[in-house]
C-alpha cells in the first residue's frame, strides 16, 4: 500500500499548525512578516514531510524497478500509477481540481527527490507538473481548467509538444500549422523529441495559425490521443531511457475551437514563460541526479581499501569528493533561490537559467567522477552509477540548451550594464 505523499500532508495546511516557524514557499507569509532571514535550505513542516514521503516512494516503489526500466527503455505502469496515487501529478493544482494545492517549491522538492533515485521518473513528474499543469493553471479559462485539470491530477499524463526537427533552440520557427474550419482547427505537422508522449493522453500542441505574423501566429492547443495523434517513433537514447521521447505526427488532426489555450497568437509567450519556470524543474532534476550519484559512490570509497587505507581517504580522492560536495551545494542554492524568487513574485528568468545551466554542468561532472571513484564497480551497470552519468547528458540539452541559458543570462547582463 503506497503512503500518500502530498495528500497526507494536506491537512497540515488546513489545520494551520502553529506557530509556523518560517516559510520557504508561502508568499503570503513573506509579505506579512517582511524579508525572510532563513537559510535557503530551511523548509516548512509541509515541505519537509513531502520530501520524506517522496523519498520513501522513490526508494521503495521506484528504486527496485530502475534498472529494469532502463534496460527495457520503458516506464513501468505501476510507477506512473504510483505518482498519481501519491498526489505527485497535481502538486500545485487546486483541491477543487483534484490537486494538492501546494507550492512551486514542493514540486521542485519532489522532482529533486525522484531524481536521486531515477531521473527518468523525475522528468515525467516534472514535465507533467511544471509545464502541462502550469499552462492550464495560468492560462486556461475556468471551463478549460474544470475540464482538464481533474484528469491531469487523477490519472492522465500530459505532454508538452513544442520542438520539431528544424526548430529546437529556434523554437519559434516551428512549422506545424493550424487552420480554422468552422468550429474546429485542423492541425498538420510533426513534433520531435517529445517527453512523456508514449504514455500521455493529454497533449499541448504548439502550431502556427498565421505564419505571415511570424512567431506571433503561434497558438497553443489541447488535444487528446484519441483525436488521432500518431506516435510515429519512440527514440532510443543514451540516457533517461525509461522516459519516453517520441516523434508525433498530426495529419488533419481535428481539434475543437474551444481547445485553444491562452488566446490565438499568444502561444509563443505562453511557451517561453512556462519554460522559464520549467527550467527550475530541470535544475532540480539535475541537482537530485548529482546528489544521487554522490550518495551511491561516496560510501564505497570508505569501504574499499587499497595500499592499506580506504581509497576515499587519500588526499587525491578526498579533495575531489569535497569539491563535488561544493558543486552540489552551489547548484542547490541556485535552484532553491530561483524557486523562492518565483514564489515571491520577483523576477526569476535569469536565476532560473543560471540554476538550469549550472545544475546540468555539475550533474555531469559529479556523476562522471562518481564512476571514477568507484572504478570497475561504477563502470558496470550493477550499481546504477554509470546510469546517472548517462542520464546527466540531457540536462544540457532539453528545456533550452546550455548555450540558450547563457544567451538568456547574457541578455540580462547587457540590459543591466549598458
Ligand atoms: N522569457 C520571456 N519572454 C522571452 C524569453 C524569456 N526567456 N525569451 C524570449 N522571449 C520573448 C521576447 O520578449 C519576444 O517577445 P515579444 O515579441 O512579445 O517582445 C519573443 O520571445 C522573441 O524574442 P527573441 O527574438 O529574443 O527570441 P528568439 O526567437 O531568438 O528565441 C526562444 C526565443 C525560442 C524562447 C529561445 O530563447 C529559447 O529559449 N529556445 C529554447 C527552446 C526550449 O527551451 N525548448 C524546450 C522544448 S520543451 C522541453 O524540452 C521539455 C522536455 O522535454 C523536458
Q: Is the pLDDT of residue 13 over 60?
A: no
The reply to whether ligand 1 has any atom less than 6 angstroms from the CB of 30 is no
**Cα-flanking dihedrals φ and ψ of residue 31, to 5°?**
-65, -40
The pairs formed by 72-79 with CB atoms below 8 angstroms and a separation of 24 or more are 72/242, 73/234, 73/236, 73/237, 73/241, 73/242, 74/242, 74/244, 75/120, 75/121, 75/124, 75/199, 75/242, 75/243, 75/244, 76/242, 77/199, 79/121
The reply to whether ligand 1 has any atom less than 6 angstroms from the CB of 379 is no
- Per-residue pLDDT, 221: 98
Return the closest-CA partner of residue 61 out of 113, 127, 129. 113
Is residue 300 within 8 Å of residue 377, measured between CB atoms?
A: yes
Q: If you measure from the C-alpha of residue 165 to the centroid of ligand 1, how many angstroms do you get, rounded to a whole number? A: 17
Q: If you measure from the C-alpha of residue 2 to the centroid of ligand 1, how many angstroms do you get, rounded to a whole number? A: 39
Average pLDDT over every residue of 360-389 = 97
* 202 phi-psi bin (left φ>0, alpha ψ -120 to 50, beta other): beta
Burial code of 190-223, b = ≥16 C-beta within 10 A, e = fewer?
Answer: bbbbbbbbbbbbbbbbbbbbeeeeebbbbbbbbb
Return the closest-CA partner of residue 113 out of 244, 289, 367, 320. 289
In this structure, the residue with its CA closest to atom 24 of ligand 1 is 172
Return the closest-CA partner of residue 283 out of 226, 341, 218, 207. 341
Residues assigned a catalytic role: 399
Scan for cell 519532489, then name that residue. 110
Q: Regarding beta strands 177-181 and 184-195, do their DSSP bridges make them parallel or antiparallel, or are they unpaired?
A: antiparallel
Question: Measuring CA to CA, how many Å separate 120 from each of 29, 143, 241, 286?
Answer: 34, 32, 7, 11
Percent of the chain at pLDDT above 90?
Answer: 90
Q: Is the pLDDT of residue 126 over 60?
A: yes
- Residues 158-192 pLDDT 10s: 999 999 999 999 999 999 999 999 999 999 999 99
Best probe residue, ligand 1, of 124, 161, 169, 272 (max atoms within 8 Å of C-beta): 272
The reply to whether ligand 1 has any atom less than 6 angstroms from the CB of 373 is no
- Residues 257-308 pLDDT 10s: 999 999 999 999 999 999 999 999 999 999 999 999 999 999 999 999 999 9
- Residues 199-226 pLDDT 10s: 999 999 999 999 999 999 999 999 999 9
Q: Distance between CA atoms of 317 and 319, rounded to whole angstroms?
A: 5
Ligand 1 atom closest to the CA of 400, numbered from 1: 44
Q: Which domains does the chain have, with CATH numbers?
A: 45-156 (1.10.540.10), 159-266 (2.40.110.10), 268-417 (1.20.140.10)
Q: Is the pLDDT of residue 23 over 70?
A: no
Mean pLDDT of the chain: 92
Q: Is the pLDDT of residue 326 over 50?
A: yes
- Per-residue pLDDT, 161: 98
Average pLDDT over every residue of 139-155 = 98
**C-alpha cell of residue 382:** 550493477
Average pLDDT over every residue of 21-44 = 57
Q: Say if residue 19 is preceded by a cis peptide, omega within 30 of 0.
A: yes
Q: Regarding beta strands 202-208 and 158-161, do their DSSP bridges make them parallel or antiparallel, or are they unpaired?
A: parallel
| pTM, entire model | 0.93
Question: Measuring CA to CA, how many Å separate 417 from each of 149, 403, 410?
Answer: 42, 21, 10
Q: Distance between CA atoms of 194 and 146, rounded to whole angstroms?
A: 26
Return the closest-CA partner of residue 283 out of 115, 39, 124. 115
Strand partners, 178: 187
Amino acid at each position: 500500500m503506497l503512503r500518500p505523499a502530498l495528500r497526507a500532508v494536506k491537512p497540515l495546511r488546513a489545520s494551520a499548525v502553529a506557530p509556523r516557524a518560517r516559510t520557504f514557499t508561502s508568499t503570503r507569509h513573506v509579505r506579512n512578516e517582511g524579508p525572510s532571514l532563513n537559510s535557503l535550505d530551511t523548509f516548512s513542516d509541509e515541505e519537509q514531510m513531502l520530501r520524506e514521503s517522496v523519498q520513501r516512494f522513490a526508494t521503495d516503489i521506484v528504486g527496485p524497478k530502475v534498472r529494469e526500466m532502463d534496460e527495457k527503455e520503458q516506464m513501468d505502469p505501476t510507477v506512473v500509477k504510483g505518482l498519481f496515487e501519491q498526489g505527485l501529478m497535481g502538486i500545485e493544482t487546486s483541491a477543487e481540481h483534484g490537486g494538492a494545492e501546494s507550492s512551486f517549491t514542493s514540486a521542485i522538492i519532489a522532482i529533486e527527490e525522484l531524481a536521486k533515485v531515477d531521473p527518468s521518473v523525475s522528468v515525467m513528474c516534472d514535465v507533467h507538473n511544471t509545464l502541462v499543469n502550469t499552462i492550464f493553471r495560468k492560462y486556461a479559462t475556468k471551463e478549460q481548467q474544470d475540464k482538464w485539470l481533474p484528469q491531469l491530477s487523477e490519472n492522465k499524463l500530459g505532454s508538452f509538444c513544442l520542438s520539431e526537427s528544424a526548430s529546437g533552440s529556434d523554437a519559434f520557427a516551428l512549422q506545424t500549422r493550424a487552420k480554422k474550419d468552422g468550429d474546429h482547427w485542423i492541425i498538420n505537422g510533426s513534433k520531435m523529441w517529445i517527453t512523456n508522449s508514449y504514455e500521455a493522453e493529454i497533449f499541448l500542441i504548439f502550431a502556427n495559425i498565421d505564419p505571415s505574423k511570424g512567431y506571433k501566429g503561434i497558438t497553443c492547443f489541447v488535444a487528446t490521443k484519441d483525436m488521432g495523434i500518431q506516435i510515429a517513433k519512440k527514440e532510443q537514447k543514451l540516457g533517461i531511457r525509461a522516459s519516453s521521447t517520441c516523434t508525433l505526427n498530426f495529419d488533419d488532426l481535428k481539434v475543437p475551437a474551444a481547445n485553444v489555450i491562452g488566446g490565438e497568437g499568444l502561444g509563443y509567450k505562453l511557451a517561453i514563460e512556462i519554460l522559464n519556470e520549467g527550467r527550475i524543474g530541470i535544475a532540480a532534476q539535475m541537482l537530485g541526479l548529482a546528489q544521487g550519484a554522490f550518495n551511491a559512490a561516496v560510501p564505497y570509497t570508505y569501504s574499499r581499501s587499497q595500499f592499506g587505507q580506504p581509497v576515499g581517504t587519500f588526499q587525491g580522492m578526498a579533495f575531489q569528493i569535497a569539491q563535488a560536495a561544493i558543486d552540489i551545494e552551489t547548484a542547490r542554492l541556485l535552484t532553491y533561490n530561483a524557486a523562492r524568487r518565483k514564489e515571491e513574485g520577483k523576477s526569476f528568468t535569469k536565476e532560473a537559467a543560471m540554476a538550469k545551466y549550472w545544475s546540468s554542468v555539475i550533474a555531469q561532472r559529479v556523476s562522471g567522477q562518481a564512476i571514477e571513484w568507484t572504478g570497475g564497480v561504477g563502470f558496470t551497470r550493477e550499481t546504477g552509477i554509470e546510469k546517472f552519468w548517462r542520464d546527466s547528458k540531457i540536462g544540457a540539452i532539453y528545456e533550452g540548451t546550455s548555450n540558450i541559458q547563457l544567451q538568456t543570462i547574457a541578455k540580462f547582463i547587457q540590459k543591466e550594464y549598458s
